[in-house]
A and B are shown apart, each in its own frame.
Chain A
Amino acid sequence: MKIFYSLLAVAVLITLAWVGTASGGLYYLFGVIFPAAAVFLFLFGIVYRVVKWARSPVPFHITTTCGQQKSLDWIKSSPLDNPSSTLGVIGRIALEVLFFRSLFRNTKMELKNGGKLVYGSAKYLWLAGLVFHWSFLIIILRHFRFFLEPTPAFVTFLQNLDGFFQVGVPVLFLTDIMILGALSFLFFRRVVTPQIRYISLISDYFPLLLIIAIAATGVLMRYFIKTDLIAVKQLMLGLFSLSPLVPEGISSLFYIHLFLVSLLLAYFPASKLVHMAGVFLSPTRNLSNNSRMKRHINPWNPPVKVHTYEEWEDEFRELIKGAGIPLEKE
């Protein structure tokens, strides 16, 4: 049901953009207003979320340590999995963000006949996640050739790298294949693995399908149903220079693509996709394990009712005396 709803939602959205432009001629709406609104919502939303997170303090130092602590000089500590310095923390977060360090540890538990547990390596999720995120990033950067004039050197460089194998005309981008492969894996994993299907919500299927649709429309445009790239670039440059114009001759396929991207941007801050920003703020990962070296301050640390030594001594005075334990007051 949840999968169906998500599929339906994406299908409806595609239809909307198609009908809206092909028959409705709402080019300005889909080409200018929606994208502009989406960018605004995206930026505003992310800032809003991060500010909200940041306004909740970190009262305790709850690092999850994944390696040896720094203690005695002669014991080798793990500066990245159990950092005791800020530099180590930066390293740990970098490993997490760039290479998905924690996911790399993933194992798969299996209960064999005879009640034996075995833990196999399970790197597919890590691999698919990594391939998807990196491809996505490279594809976004590649798109800068549509937004900036002249095209920055690093974009050209990426593009050449991505098309390194020089297959076909236009040249096939590796990332296009990789992102579709990784996304399909992630989607099918969610649908096929009973446990993952069980925990999945609409808000898990929907963004996956949305991104798949974005990638698919992009690929269609590049390799199969060509659109007028010069016109597209004019539209994008207009948007980015805040002097929008709607050139003629852009296909509906492009508007569908653009509309889906706009939706993704607008949806991003309100959804689980904010993990992109959240990962930097996760207190189990971004704190160093130095809580015995340096006092961590809790901004709210109200006094609590304690049982004082004096009260204790008063209650047990005779017993303490009888046992020959020294007293404060005889």
Chain B
Amino acid sequence: MSEKHFKPEELTAIGYQPRRRDWMDPHVEFRRGTFNYSANPKSMEYLGLPFVRKWQPTEDDWQLPSNWKEIILEGLRERIHKFRSLRIFMDICVRCGACADKCHFYIGSGDPKNMPVLRAELLRSVYRKDFTTAGKILGKMAGGRELTVPVLKEWFYYFYQCTECRRCSVFCPYGIDTAEITIIGRELLNLVGIGIDWITTPAANCFRTGNHLGIQPHGFKDSVDFAADDLEDITGIKVNPSVNRKGAEVLFVVPSADYFGDPHYFGFLGYLALFHEIGLDYTFSAFASEGGNFGLFHSHEMMKRLNAKIYAEAKRLGVKYIIGGECGHMWRVLHQYMDTMNGPADFLEVPKSPVTGTVFENARSTKMVHIAEFTADLIKNRKLKLAPERNDSYKVTFHDSCNPARAMGLLEEPRYILKSVCNHFYEMPENTIREQTFCCGSGSGLGTDENLEMRLRGGFPRANAVKYVQQNHGVNLLVCICAIDKATLPPLMDFWAPGVAVAGLHELVGNALMMKGEKEREADFRGAPLPGKEEKVHV
């Protein structure tokens, strides 16, 4: 599977006319490139998940436990009683269709079951059949569907063609959030041992080692040291990040891709440079070496299990508060779930910037500050010396990651920073940014190679908007604040908008930051010559 198999023209030949076949009639075809492989039994075992077995979606027999139907219906009953969201979202959709063409998977695939309303109806029809009086009596006439194996297969296919991005929820007159339905739908599937490997294995890794990539403590330390060396090469300044140091003021938590992935890594250098420059007393933790949380893509329970280490580690190390790096779904969990699940964080203090004295009242309870909030405050208070012209070779646009945009509202902070650290910033069209931003198409654990066709389709609306600013303003750099974006936007750009690179916000901050005592920089963090220094760097 590689993107060479198709051309953009082929993927944009999309028919939006629904098929003849009534959607109530369950039907799904597992075409290579549009679904994810099943969870590795070893990872399931490690996490203590039920019904461990070897199976693949393409097989006819999924080897379901004999009482699978009771398990799922019981699971649904339980969740209807536990989540008002679910119960209300099952009851009040009027099928107005306002959400239909808001989903990037529908736009990119034309598959009617990718309209958020129908994605939800896949579950809703079963709910109607088994949990409403009308459905029990009238069945199909009342929009009810029997839960059968084909229906279950449909759930699997379409709940893993939703990136839980919540764009549909913005447009729904009742705020019906299909992500919530997908999250619970996946939870139900996991009850009978149906999960995908790209979620289960990172979750198992994270549970064991502390991070999704399964990097062990020494590996983590090496990465941090390696980054410090790299930064010294570029700036001439030796920074001294610590790991598991007790008594530091701040615990800094990042998604693991930041210290292992590319282009994440350049942003990681940016963090190191920034914190050194302001003299922040901070430490990393090799145990809490992951801010991201693939548990969110698995179940509420798994989310809580993986998230627990952050507060535990903050407590053990005796820090005052926590700063979190650039990551989308990580911030969904930190902002909307962590305090509820694993709080109260009464052993921490309300975050206060040691440099500007600003008290982050908005993080008064969780005690966890987003790095963009932290940096924006530094810049506003003129605590950083910046040379935005060092980023002059970049024409920049900003991709709002779904979760910071629609589950937080972190819209202006990154923009303020960007405008301070680079001179050429262009917004994408209005309907594709801020709360209306389009997903990268690979979020919520769908970013695997086996799912590439679907990712390219789902990422099409995002890429299309980038292409627009590329053509109109010559944009060549797409900045974002999400680890999944940084991993999955580069292949997306190569396919739809070749010539646009992807970078983290703090990579540009690091480039522009004039550090005390630094040597004359020749190249930026990714090794490209700085404007005006082209001839000196050997490529």
A304-B304, A306-B308, A326-B246 known; A292-B366 Cβ under 8 A? yes
Q: Does A176 contact B (CB under 8 A)?
A: no
Residue on B nearest A276 in the bound complex, by CB: B92
Residue on A nearest B344 in the bound complex, by CB: A295
Residue on A nearest B460 in the bound complex, by CB: A117
Q: Are B341 and A301 in contact (CB under 8 A)?
A: yes
Q: Are B82 and A57 in contact (CB under 8 A)?
A: yes
Residues of B within 8 A of A326 (CB): 244-246
B64 to chain A, nearest CB (A): 25
Number of interface residues of B (CB under 8 A): 120
B444 to chain A, nearest CB (A): 15
B352 to chain A, nearest CB (A): 13
Residues of A within 8 A of B436 (CB): 105
Residues of A within 8 A of B93 (CB): 272, 275
- CB-contact partner of A72 in B82, B97, B358, under 8 A: B358
Q: Does A160 contact B (CB under 8 A)?
A: no
Q: Are B461 and A57 in contact (CB under 8 A)?
A: no
Q: Does A23 contact B (CB under 8 A)?
A: no
Q: Mark B94-133, 1 if CB is under 8 A from A, else 0.
A: 1111101110000100001001011001000000000011
Q: Are A56 and B80 in contact (CB under 8 A)?
A: yes
Q: Are A65 and B408 in contact (CB under 8 A)?
A: yes
Residues of A within 8 A of B8 (CB): 115
Residues of A within 8 A of B392 (CB): none
- CB-contact partner of B340 in A61, A82, A84, under 8 A: A61
Q: Does B261 contact A (CB under 8 A)?
A: no
Q: Mark A227-260, 1 if CB is under 8 A from B, else 0.
A: 0000000000000000000000000000000000
Q: Mark B310-327, 1 if CB is under 8 A from A, else 0.
A: 001100100000000000
- CB-contact partner of B364 in A64, A109, A271, A292, under 8 A: A292
B132 to chain A, nearest CB (A): 8
Residue on B nearest A282 in the bound complex, by CB: B175
Of the listed stretches B16-24, B33-41, B227-235, B525-533, chain A binds B16-24
A52 CA / B218 CA spacing, docked (Å) = 53
Q: Are B142 and A203 in contact (CB under 8 A)?
A: yes
- CB-contact partner of A309 in B9, B174, B218, B312, under 8 A: B312
Residue on B nearest A202 in the bound complex, by CB: B141
Q: Are B82 and A300 in contact (CB under 8 A)?
A: yes
Q: Does A224 contact B (CB under 8 A)?
A: no
Main secondary structure of the interface of B (DSSP, over half): helix
Of the listed stretches A34-42, A147-155, A193-201, A214-222, chain B binds A193-201
A58 CA / B85 CA spacing, docked (Å) = 7
A84 to chain B, nearest CB (A): 8
Main secondary structure of the interface of A (DSSP, over half): loop
B206 to chain A, nearest CB (A): 9
- CB-contact partner of A62 in B115, B142, B336, B429, under 8 A: B336
Q: Does A156 contact B (CB under 8 A)?
A: no
Q: Does A68 contact B (CB under 8 A)?
A: yes
A292 CA / B81 CA spacing, docked (Å) = 26
A69 to chain B, nearest CB (A): 3
Q: Are B337 and A60 in contact (CB under 8 A)?
A: yes
Q: Are A285 and B174 in contact (CB under 8 A)?
A: yes
Q: Are B218 and A319 in contact (CB under 8 A)?
A: yes
Q: Does B488 contact A (CB under 8 A)?
A: no
List A296-330 residues whose CB lies under 8 Å from chain B. 296-298, 300-301, 304-309, 312-313, 315-316, 319-320, 322-326, 328
Q: Does B287 contact A (CB under 8 A)?
A: yes
Residues of B within 8 A of A196 (CB): 95, 97, 100
A307-B208, A320-B218 known; A64-B170 Cβ under 8 A? yes
Q: Are B339 and A291 in contact (CB under 8 A)?
A: yes
Q: Mark B480-520, 1 if CB is under 8 A from A, else 0.
A: 00000000000000000000000000000000000000000
Q: Does B262 contact A (CB under 8 A)?
A: no
A285 CA / B305 CA spacing, docked (Å) = 28
A281 CA / B176 CA spacing, docked (Å) = 11
List A65-110 residues whose CB lies under 8 Å from chain B. 65-72, 74-78, 81-82, 84, 96, 100, 102-103, 105-109
A108 CA / B210 CA spacing, docked (Å) = 44
A57 CA / B143 CA spacing, docked (Å) = 27
Residues of B within 8 A of A291 (CB): 335-336, 339-340, 366
Residues of B within 8 A of A59 (CB): 82-83, 300, 340
Q: Does B43 contact A (CB under 8 A)?
A: no
A100 CA / B249 CA spacing, docked (Å) = 47
Q: Does B88 contact A (CB under 8 A)?
A: yes
List B450-475 residues whose CB lies under 8 Å from chain A. 460-461, 464-465, 468
Residues of A within 8 A of B118 (CB): 198-199
Chain A interface residue bracket vs B: 35 or more
Q: Mark B191-231, 1 if CB is under 8 A from A, else 0.
A: 00000000000000001111000001110011000000000
Q: Are B336 and A75 in contact (CB under 8 A)?
A: no
Q: Are A72 and B377 in contact (CB under 8 A)?
A: yes
- CB-contact partner of B142 in A61, A195, A202, under 8 A: A202
Q: Does B309 contact A (CB under 8 A)?
A: yes
A78 CA / B435 CA spacing, docked (Å) = 12
List B374-395 residues whose CB lies under 8 Å from chain A. 376-377, 380
Q: Does A293 contact B (CB under 8 A)?
A: yes
Interface residues of A (CB under 8 A from B): 5, 49, 52-72, 74-78, 81-82, 84, 96, 100, 102-103, 105-109, 111, 115-117, 119, 125, 129, 193-204, 270-272, 274-275, 278-279, 281-285, 289, 291-298, 300-301, 304-309, 312-313, 315-316, 319-320, 322-326, 328
With contacts A102-B171, A281-B88 known, what are 13 further pairs, Cβ within 8 A? A129-B96, A195-B18, A202-B141, A272-B92, A272-B94, A285-B175, A289-B409, A291-B366, A292-B364, A298-B340, A320-B218, A323-B222, A326-B244
A-B contact pairs, 20 of them (CB 8 A): A60-B337, A65-B408, A65-B409, A69-B409, A105-B436, A117-B460, A125-B96, A199-B95, A199-B97, A200-B95, A270-B132, A271-B134, A278-B92, A282-B89, A282-B175, A284-B85, A289-B409, A292-B339, A295-B339, A300-B82
Interface residues of B (CB under 8 A from A): 8-9, 12, 14, 16-18, 23, 48, 80-89, 91-98, 100-102, 107, 112, 115, 117-118, 121, 132-134, 141-143, 166, 169-177, 180, 207-210, 216-218, 221-222, 243-246, 286-287, 300-301, 304-305, 308-309, 312-313, 316, 334-337, 339-341, 343-344, 358, 360-366, 368, 373, 376-377, 380, 405-413, 416, 429, 431-432, 434-436, 460-461, 464-465, 468
